[in-house]
Structure 1
Amino acid sequence: MLGRDIEETSAKTGDTMYPILIFQIFLLFSSVLAERHSLAYYFTTIWSSEDQGNPFHQVVGSLDGEQILRYTIDDPVVRPLPEWMKNVEPEHWRELTEIAKHYELRHLTTVRLLNNTQSKTSGQTYQVRFGCDIFEDGATGGYEEFGANGKDFIYLDNIQRKFAPSADEARPLTEKWNRRRGSVKRQFFYKDEACIQWIEKYLSHRNDTFQGRAQPIVKVERLQSNGLTKLRCHAYGFYPQTIDVKWMKNGSDKASSVEKEMTLPNPDGTYQTFLTVEVQPGEEDLYTCVLDHSSLEMLLKEKWRMNHINHTELKNRSYHRMISFAAAVVSTVLLVGLLYACISGRKNRASTEPD
């Protein structure tokens, strides 16, 4: 089996119960204050019987929405992408590379089998989505889903503890996989145990990079489009991911007409998010963007300032100036043309009229 077994520990009794109770209380508070984290891997294999070259195969891994590793058939080594991931020990990457090569061969065998037994087409696209989550309360969960040619095919049934078909044509292959008990056991090991260990490993290195916290930087911009005036609050460079951003009007009333965008990862492992509110022209100074984040000792508040002209406004002003200039040029050309036509007309009339 690829991967490492999980070490098991047992609690002691007697005079060690008091430290254990303290540790359990610590775990309880840790789980309450914990954040949700997700690790996902996406396998894609494309094979064509008409193509004499190598099939396309790729594995991409992401942590909390940030792409962290990649493996391709042209570069068959699992490589970390963010700088902070490169601090993970080399042995881990060798282990993941062995796993990736194992599933590269297995997936290629599967797509060839599908082509021979089902559609009889010239090629197949096979995809696998595998991952796990650590939830806010400390609970964990995992999944593995298989797709063929853009349709659900097979999935790992967490209740029955075996593979289950998502489509009728997947039943023969599902039964074949379930007869290989070692393979089924390995998949559940990766999903339920190894994947959670990998999340914890990656988070420990990411936390070390940011020392557990990175304060958000906030910028407020004024946007004008389609006759509407909006204020956009951009918070970026913060870690961990959870953040509370809101617009306040007159210091207390929560603003309406708010557009919130999802929190996105940055290449360095931090996060960013946007929150936009529609305002009446001239009332921009009544609005305040308020942020609450675990890295802050107090709420962070930011308003739009008149002297802080943003790039969008500069672009709009340049655009309007350019339009005004173009209109002036066109008007001048038309005026000159009109005068020229009048003068030419007079000369023509003078030359054609009888004496």
Structure 2
Amino acid sequence: MAPALGLGALLALLGVSMGQPKVLHSLRYLQVAVTEPSPGIPQFLSMGYVDGIPITRYDSERGRKEPLTLWMAAGAKPGFWDRGTQINEGNQLIATANLERVGGRYNWSGGLHTRQRVCGCDLLSDGSVRRTLRIGYDGRDFISFSPETGTFVAADGAARITQRKWKSDGYEALQPDLAQSCAEWLQKYIGYGQEVLERKEPPDVHVSGKEEHGILTLSCHAYGFYPGMIRINWLKGDELRDQETEWGGIVPNSNGTFHSWARIEALPGEREQYRCRVEHAGMPEPGIFAWEPESIWNSIPVLVTVSVIAAIIIIGLVGVGVWKLRSGKREGNGYDPAPTRITA
């Protein structure tokens, strides 16, 4: 069975791969089509992203391609939005037809079914362009383009029908040209939003650990970074432990920055051997971070408890002192303090 094409995979596709060479900028279009639209869930939705930032939207309910950033609205030439609307209307017809066609191969019998398509390109640090195209149905991989081999990869027998057709129709051979066209549009969009897209905000990195059932789970979180290209790796000594690492997606925040994480399991006795390595364009050099468990006296719960106890003791002592003063006055011991006004 083909692996699931879940939200984490889609978000990763909207962001940046952790491979080499380094990704400078990325353009993605995410299209989602459904067989049974409902209020709030249009039959067809298309979102455009530059470096993980949503820049355009089209859905079948509104029926028009629209900008999602001020710099896209200001930079696009006259006719851009009308032409984009026409393209998306055509894409909707294609997606609907493909849902019906592929549904016949899988013997669907009604119900809700979905088609997800992610396409775009990356501008790489070596000057090359990498093409991305991936299609899934009902959240599972169907077919994808491999830039390494220049061929389409089918997930199952139903997808191999499409694979053979695209090869014979010349669509497979067209991918390098589509990559170059995508890169030209990406360069235009970068020009529209250069001030925003080329800023650099380093991540705030936090490492934590949790021991349970004899296993120590170490988590390395990176918050508030931009652009959305980051490498987070766990090291044991000087050795990368990517095979044992679980990564979260590069997820956008509401303020235009991103967050991500990497997690690894270790033996408690080997804790000091593990380090988190974070590399980002906003950092002068890669940072190395370790988990520093708090001592019991420095932990927040203990400090709060100690503070509460201390406050109770102080209040008690003050109360005893006031009681003694009042008792002494009643007994006529000669002590008659002047009236005082308590101030904060």
TM-score when normalising by structure 2: 0.52
Contact 1:66–1:266 (Cα < 8 Å) also in 2: yes
Aligned counterparts of 1:33 and 1:154: Cα–Cα separation in 2: 21
Structure 1: give runs of 5+ residues left out of the alignment. 1-30, 315-355
Contact 2:42–2:59 (Cα < 8 Å) also in 1: no
How far off is 1:218 after superposition? 0.6
1:41 aligns with 2:27: no
Counterpart residue type for residue 90 of structure 2: H
Q: Which residue of 2 aligns with 1:324?
A: none
Deviates more, 1:252-261 or 1:119-128: 119-128
Aligned counterparts of 2:21 and 2:83: Cα–Cα separation in 1: 33
Q: Which residue of 2 aligns with 1:131?
A: 119
SS class of match (1:74): coil
1:96 aligns with 2:84: yes
Q: Which residue of 2 aligns with 1:261?
A: 247
TM-align CA RMSD: 5.7
Q: Which residue of 1 aligns with 2:196?
A: 209
SS class of match (2:209): strand
Aligned counterparts of 2:94 and 2:34: Cα–Cα separation in 1: 10
Matched ranges for 1:125-164 at <5 A: 127=115, 129=117, 131-134=119-122, 136=124, 137-140=126-129, 142=131
Q: Which residue of 2 aligns with 1:224?
A: 211
How far off is 1:216 after superposition? 1.4
Aligned counterparts of 2:191 and 2:296: Cα–Cα separation in 1: 39
1:296 aligns with 2:286: no
* CA 1:129–1:191: 2 relative to 1, 3 Å: farther
How far off is 1:207 after superposition? 4.8
Counterpart residue type for residue 230 of structure 1: T
Corresponding residue pairs, total: 269
Contact 1:44–1:128 (Cα < 8 Å) also in 2: yes
Aligned counterparts of 2:219 and 2:184: Cα–Cα separation in 1: 39
Aligned counterparts of 2:187 and 2:296: Cα–Cα separation in 1: 42
Aligned counterparts of 2:263 and 2:163: Cα–Cα separation in 1: 47
Contact 1:82–1:269 (Cα < 8 Å) also in 2: no
Contact 1:40–1:130 (Cα < 8 Å) also in 2: yes
- In the TM superposition, what whole-angstrom CA distance separates every residue of 1:4-57 from its partner, at most 9, and x where no partner exists? xxxxxxxxxxxxxxxxxxxxxxxxxxx976547352332415269xx9xx9822
* CA 1:190–1:296: 2 relative to 1, 3 Å: same
Contact 1:154–1:167 (Cα < 8 Å) also in 2: no
Higher relative contact order (CA 8 A, sep 6+): 2
TM-score when normalising by structure 1: 0.51
How far off is 1:81 after superposition? 4.5
Structure 2: give runs of 5+ residues left out of the alignment. 1-19, 152-157, 302-344
- In the TM superposition, what whole-angstrom CA distance separates every residue of 1:58-97 from its partner, at most 9, and x where no partner exists? 2233455665543222121223456776665374444322
1:61 aligns with 2:48: yes
Aligned counterparts of 1:85 and 1:308: Cα–Cα separation in 2: 52
Aligned counterparts of 2:258 and 2:297: Cα–Cα separation in 1: 24
Contact 1:248–1:254 (Cα < 8 Å) also in 2: yes
